[in-house]
Amino acid sequence: MRSKRFITILGAAGLILAACTANTGGNASASAGGKSYIPIVSKGFQHQFWQAVKKGAEQEAAKENVTVNFEGPAAETQVDQQMDMLQAEYDKHPAAICFAALDSKAAVPLLQKFKDAKIPVIGFDSGVDSDIPVTTAATDNIAAAGTAADKLAAAIGGSGKVGLIVHDQTSRTGIDRRDGFLKEMKAKYPNIQIIGPQYGAGDQLKSADLAKAMIQANPDIKGFFGSNEGSAIGVINAVKELNKSGKIVVVGYDSGQAQIDAINSGLMLGAITQNPIGIGEQCVKAAVKAIKGESQPKTIDTGFFWYDKSNINDPQIQAVLYK
């Protein structure tokens, strides 16, 4: 029979061994069932866009034989909740992390902790104002918003008032889409007056209220640009509610069934669609490469397309629409 002293020593040794295992580097405990664990902290779940990104990430995870956990706050205004999620994932010592920032500056101190722990950070969709991410898989939002500006300007004859509804002024996507649109308009269309920007947090109801107020204050307004799914749908709803269908040209960003229906019915001229499944695939692929120590470019351009009634049924466009 073993003595109590022997059992006590054995138990103490087990505790020491467990403690050593829990603290052996940033990603020593990063596997589940032998698979590398890669959390994916997105900006939210409220739009179909994020569900498409999630689908792409999970498809690529299956190919790469890694485990992912896709999560995001309930609304794209909840920066604090996103920071809590980021901290919780840091505490799990993942092999790498994919992150789309609601606030391009707020997350930097926490991301520094990942870097110090040698946990690679992969940006996706909306990057951060830092060189911490190994790479960022995203749309060239400045160029895409410039294309939206060109399409809207052509539709209204290069002159008149245009409203601008943006989802936020803190994320990289909000900043770049706003600035890309404004820069293109200023450079090429001096006879177009921009009303706004106004910020609707990507919320359909808030964006609709903002658009209605802009229309009522500017009854001669000719067009609108909504910078994401919620912003664009809000503008569409405002135009319908004020019986301005056919009188105001609406250009959007992203896809989703409501925008697709609006384009097919003529309520919306067209929109920019990203490649959300591709964004999800590329961020996981980049994370796996980072875990292996492979070199990568600082940005991965996942592409964009303009779609309207003339090409919405083209196979190339259908492949990147999300419903």
Measured in degrees and rounded to the nearest 5, phi and psi for residue 164 equal -125, 115
The per-residue pLDDT of the chain, averaged, comes to 90
The pLDDT assigned to 46 comes to 74
The pLDDT assigned to 27 comes to 47
Q: Which CATH class is domain 141-273?
A: alpha beta
Other C-beta atoms within 10 Å of 142: how many? 16
d(CA 61, CA 319): 20
pLDDT band per the 50, 70, 90 thresholds, residue 127: confident
Which range (4-8, 49-53, 58-62, 246-250) has the least confidence?
4-8
Mean pLDDT of 211-227: 98
Mean pLDDT of 240-244: 96
Q: How many residues does the chain have?
A: 323
Q: Which CATH class is domain 27-139+276-303?
A: alpha beta
pLDDT band per the 50, 70, 90 thresholds, residue 30: low
Indicate the SS3 state at residue 108.
helix
pLDDT one-digit tens code per residue, 153-179? 999 999 999 999 999 999 999 999 999
Higher pLDDT among residues 10 and 119, named by residue? 119
Fold agreement between 27-139+276-303 and 141-273: yes
Listed in sequence order, the DSSP H helices in the chain are 4-22, 48-64, 79-90, 108-116, 141-155, 172-188, 204-217, 229-241, 257-265, 276-291, 315-318
Mean pLDDT of 58-70: 98
The pLDDT assigned to 114 comes to 98
pLDDT value at 98 more than 50: yes
The pLDDT assigned to 47 comes to 81
Q: For residue 105, count CB atoms less than 10 angstroms from its CB and return exposed for 0-12, middle for 13-18, buried for 19 or more.
A: exposed
Mean pLDDT of 27-34: 56
Contact (Cβ atoms closer than 8 angstroms) between residue 272 and residue 254: yes
d(CA 229, CA 200): 11
The pLDDT assigned to 275 comes to 93
pLDDT value at 19 more than 50: no
Q: Where along the chain do its domains lie?
A: 27-139+276-303, 141-273
Mean pLDDT of 14-34: 44
pLDDT band per the 50, 70, 90 thresholds, residue 3: very low
* DSSP tag of 258: H
pLDDT one-digit tens code per residue, 246-301? 999 999 999 989 999 999 999 999 999 999 999 999 999 999 999 999 999 999 99
